[in-house]
Amino acid sequence: MTRGDRRANTAFSALRHRDFATFWTAALISNSAAWLQNVVVPFLMFELTGSNGLVGLAAFASLFPAFLLTPFAGVLADRVSRRLILVCSQSVSALLALAYWGLWVGDGLTSGWILFLQFLSGISAGFQVAAWQSFVPQLVPRESLLHAVRLNSIQFTVARALGPLVAIAALGFLGTGFAFMINALTYLGVVATILAARPIESVAPRAETLRAILGEGFAFVRAHASLRYSTAAGFAIAFLGQSLAFSLAPGLSEEIFDLGETGQRLMLLALGCGSLLMSSFIIVLGDRLPRSLLTRFGLGTYAAGVLAVGATDIFAVALFGFGLMGIAHLAVAVSLNTAIQIQVDDDIRGRVISFYILGVLAGLPLGAIISGALADVIGLRAVMLVAGTLFVGFNVWAWVVANGFAALDATRIDGSGPPDRSVR
């Protein structure tokens, strides 16, 4: 490899492509603003109701519709312009953020309105996620695909770190309505970059029934170990980790640490900073690590983080646990997403990604509503300890049944290619 080739194949080489660079930048800004709203809504629900169960129900309302719609959204992503899907879903999300803002400034935001708007948000997200993930590869040539996928995952991570940080700095001065209004406005930038892009369209021309198309995608996932294990791991980190981190953070801050909204923001900030730290590590050393190794590391670290939060009433220790969960989530998510993107051809990518996302979206609402309901009965710390113990069990399964996720290292879906020792 020449020096010029090495320069072209750096971690940020995908940003040399204008369409991807502008889309990535607009998405980073928009997703950071979305985290302002993600921080505010659970705390508002807790303040209005005082119930961890209803906070979990609000999360369930935003995630369950996405779970139901994702398989069909995967079909659309393989049969309809992904750009069109994204423009429509981003526009709807902007209108919902404006609705939150209008109800807040008019003093009309109630728990019922929150549940309704969260439900509509879930419908929008259900159509968006599969199209988003399968749209990114259309913005770069094949040789930049791995870097684009990795940077796309890191973009979400940086946004998760920046959102709570901006919330801490700004909400106290500008008020809660700021979170909703700025979130609505930043969607416009994403829509503009999508409309300006010239993606490599690859909608398949076959005319098949919806059942046949879905069946083809399901059979493809079931037939390949890396896809089955990726879906299982996506469900595990969502059900036992991510859902608890977000739905229980308000209650943990209020009931265990007596810190209110500030404590919730700091815990989510620790989560984002942990992911940001792992992002830097992957950018520097990711080319040298097999995806299976990073996935195993992430799953073990996730279990440790959940157990640390459940075992303490010291806020600094809880922050450390949230930081571990952030590190772990980024490690697992980037490894799984990269494996799927590189192993799967574009004509079926939307459906395959939708089944992986289905695992995540099944875990998030189930984890949120179950953990919230249990927290009102057995306590928040007990719920975290139970989840951490189950996470340890999943780690044992990963070694014994999934062979340490070795299938993730293949460069082709049938495993015939040489191992790819890279999480790029």
Lowest mean pLDDT among 55-64, 194-203, 292-301, 408-417: 408-417
pLDDT at 92: 93
Tokens of 188: 């416009």
Q: What is the pLDDT of residue 318?
A: 92
State residue 182's pLDDT score. 85
pLDDT at 181: 87
User: Are 41 and 114 a contacting pair, CB within 8 Å?
Assistant: yes
**Greatest mean pLDDT among 1-15, 97-111, 157-171, 363-377:** 97-111
- Compute the average pLDDT of residues 72-86: 79
pLDDT at 96: 94
Q: How confident is the model at residue 165 (pLDDT cuts 50, 70, 90)?
A: low
Q: What is the average pLDDT across 317-324?
A: 93
Give CA–CA dist 218/221, Å, rounded.
5
Give domain status of residue 94, yes or no. yes
Least confident span in 3-7, 44-48, 188-192, 251-255 = 3-7
pLDDT average, residue stretch 390-398 = 94
For 242-266, how does the pLDDT look when each residue is reduced to its tens digit (9 = 90+)? 888 877 888 888 888 888 777 877 8
Q: Which of 222, 236, 271 is nearest to 360 (CA)?
A: 236
The tokens for 175 are 């008020």
| Residue 192 in this model has a pLDDT that exceeds 60 | yes
Position 418 in a domain: no
Confidence of residue 423 (pLDDT cuts 50, 70, 90): very low
Assigned token pair, 19: 């369409």
Structure-block tokens of residue 174: 């500008």
Mean pLDDT of 50-61: 80
* pLDDT at residue 90, rounded to an integer: 92
List Cβ neighbours of 277 (8 Å cut-off, separation of 6 or more). 323, 326, 327
How many other CB atoms are there within 10 angstroms of residue 200's CB atom? 12
Q: Which residues of 208-245 are buried (b: 16+ CB within 10 A; e: fewer)?
A: eeeeebbebbeebbeebbbbbbbbbbbbbbbbbbbbbb
Distance between CA atoms of residues 88 and 102, nearest Å: 21
In a domain, 71, yes or no: yes
Q: How confident is the model at residue 233 (pLDDT cuts 50, 70, 90)?
A: very high
Q: What pLDDT sits at residue 419? A: 46
Helix ranges restricted to H, 50-110: 52-79, 82-105
Neighbouring C-beta atoms of residue 108, cutoff 10 Å: 9
Does residue 309 belong to any structural domain of this protein? Answer: yes
Alpha helices per DSSP H over 224-314: 225-237, 243-247, 249-251, 260-285, 291-310
The per-residue pLDDT for 193 is: 92
pLDDT computed for residue 418 by the predictor: 42
Per the rule left: phi > 0, alpha: psi between -120 and 50, beta: everything else, 204 is beta
Residue 250 domain flag: yes
> Which residues span the domain enclosing 286?
13-409
Q: What is the pLDDT of residue 272?
A: 78
Domain holding 285: CATH number? 1.20.1250.20
Q: Give the pLDDT band of residue 130 (cuts 50, 70, 90).
A: confident
CA 212 to chain centroid, in Å, comes to 28
Which two structure tokens, joined as six digits, stand for 340? 């799927």
In a domain, 417, yes or no: no
- Mean predicted confidence (pLDDT) in 354-378: 83
Q: For residue 108, what is the DSSP state?
A: -
Residue 210, pLDDT > 70, answer no
At 153 the pLDDT is: 74
More confident residue, 279 or 405: 405
Q: Total structural domains in the chain?
A: 1
CB neighbour list of residue 51: distance below 8 Å, 6 or more residues apart:
372, 376
